Amino acid sequence: MVTITRLLGFICCITLTGSACAQQPNIPLSGSNQSYEFQLVTKGVDIPWGMAWLNEKDILVTDRKGELRIISNGKLLSERIEGLPELRAEGQGGLLDVTVDPNYAQNNLIYFSYSGLEGEGEGAHTSVMRAKLQGFKLTEQTVIFDGGPNSTKGQHYGSRLAFDNQGYLYISSGDRANRDVNPQRLDRDAGKIHRINSDGSIPQDNPFVAQKEANPSIYSYGHRNPQGMAKHPVTGDIWTHEHGPKGGDEINIIQSGANYGWPVICYGVNYSGTSFTDLTEKEGMQQPIWYWVPSIAPSGMTFVTSDVYPDWKGKVIVGSLKFAYLVALELDGNKVLSQETLFPGIGRVRNVKQGDDGYIYVATDGSGIFKIVPSK
């Protein structure tokens, strides 16, 4: 258990005009002296990529190596869920995100993404399956999205899932480590946000349905590797964040038909430190509402709506793989005003979500899944 009464660490902030400012000590999110306990829920999941609540007591969690598990009343059940598809658990691939149908209580439908082999060509790509969860078995499995073409590269599957208020399913697909081809081509699924109906069919108002050479599931393009996605609790908009290269991690609000610029515009450079573009903005390409330099390697994203955290309510929380902490972003509408580091040193954060019980859960690589609770 870690108890925090004062939030420490450093932040690299960005002004509203986008220019970077120097590191400076954190300031508490409010004047409150409320302390929080970082409580271990369970170990036993190596890389807990996705979390979804079946109800207030039962959590579905994916292990990237290819296991779907249930945490019930804070205990990781030993039985694995059967019926998963064949997948390629190599590199950054494996069993990835999971979400439940908006009407799960009536239909028992779940959706999960994975590095699937269904697409054309050798290798794998981001796929999504819908299935009914019956006890510890998946039934009526249907592949509702199979990205293509496949690639033998092991990076950049993206692969977050979220439903909007109209019941459309959004899918993030990374560029599959082929930035020069995939993100800007509308006949390629990689480097995109896709929008489909829950049965896999295509909404007729998707932006590229009438464009002959475009894949009709594409909703936005020019993305690198989006590993955070959440629905704004007030506006209903889909927000994402994505990994930049060395610098240039971004937060974006997804708009129909919009081009988010990768790799034509970027606030980062190659991992070697060399430049691949001189542009940070270009007409017809969206600017991020926030970006990080240096990169924090963001993963997981949740809006805080719970009364459990009065000091954090209305903020968005993002996990950092690189620096092993959480980042709390203060918002004014669609603007990010500032950020603050929370719980430095907690481990590589793979996912962060507010659960149906109102508590924030944090999944870390190798260290376990934790719950943040106010101290008494």
- pLDDT tens by residue, 340-367: 999 999 999 999 999 999 999 999 999 9
Q: Determine the pLDDT at residue 32.
A: 55
Structure tokens at 279: 């542009």
Total residue length of the chain = 376
The closest alpha carbon to 66, from 113, 3, 29, belongs to 113
Whether 210 has a pLDDT exceeding 70, the answer reads yes
Indicate the pairing of strand 316-320 with strand 349-354: unpaired
Q: Determine the pLDDT at residue 37.
A: 87
On whether the CB atoms of residues 89 and 115 are closer than 8 A, the answer is: yes
Q: Determine the pLDDT at residue 328.
A: 97
Whether 19 has a pLDDT exceeding 90, the answer reads no
Residue positions annotated with a catalytic role? 156
CATH number of this structure's domain 81-296:
2.120.10.30
Task: Encode 92-122: b = buried (16+ Cβ within 10 Å), e = exposed.
Answer: bbbbbbbbbbbebeeebbbbbbbbbbbbeee
Q: What is the mean pLDDT of residues 179-190?
A: 98
Q: What is the mean pLDDT of residues 124-133?
A: 98
User: For residue 276, which amino acid is it?
Assistant: F
Say which residue, 16 or 328, is predicted with more confidence.
328
Extents of the domains making up the chain: 1-47+298-376, 81-296
The values of phi and psi at residue 266, to 5°, are: -170, 150
The pLDDT tens digits for 88-113 are: 999 999 999 999 999 999 999 999 99
Structure tokens at 113: 């993404």
Whether 28 has a pLDDT exceeding 70, the answer reads no
Q: Count CA atoms closer than 13 A to 296's CA, side-chain side.
A: 31
Q: What is the mean pLDDT of residues 201-216?
A: 97
Q: What's the 3-state SS for 266-285?
A: CCCECCCCCCCCCCCCCCCC
The values of phi and psi at residue 37, to 5°, are: -105, 130
Structure tokens at 259: 């081009």
Q: Determine the pLDDT at residue 263.
A: 98
The rounded distance, in Å, linking the Cα atoms of 170 and 161 is 6
The pLDDT tens digits for 136-171 are: 999 999 999 999 999 999 999 999 999 999 999 999
Q: Determine the pLDDT at residue 13.
A: 33
The rounded distance, in Å, linking the Cα atoms of 208 and 103 is 28
The pLDDT tens digits for 286-331 are: 999 999 999 999 999 999 999 999 989 999 999 999 999 999 999 9
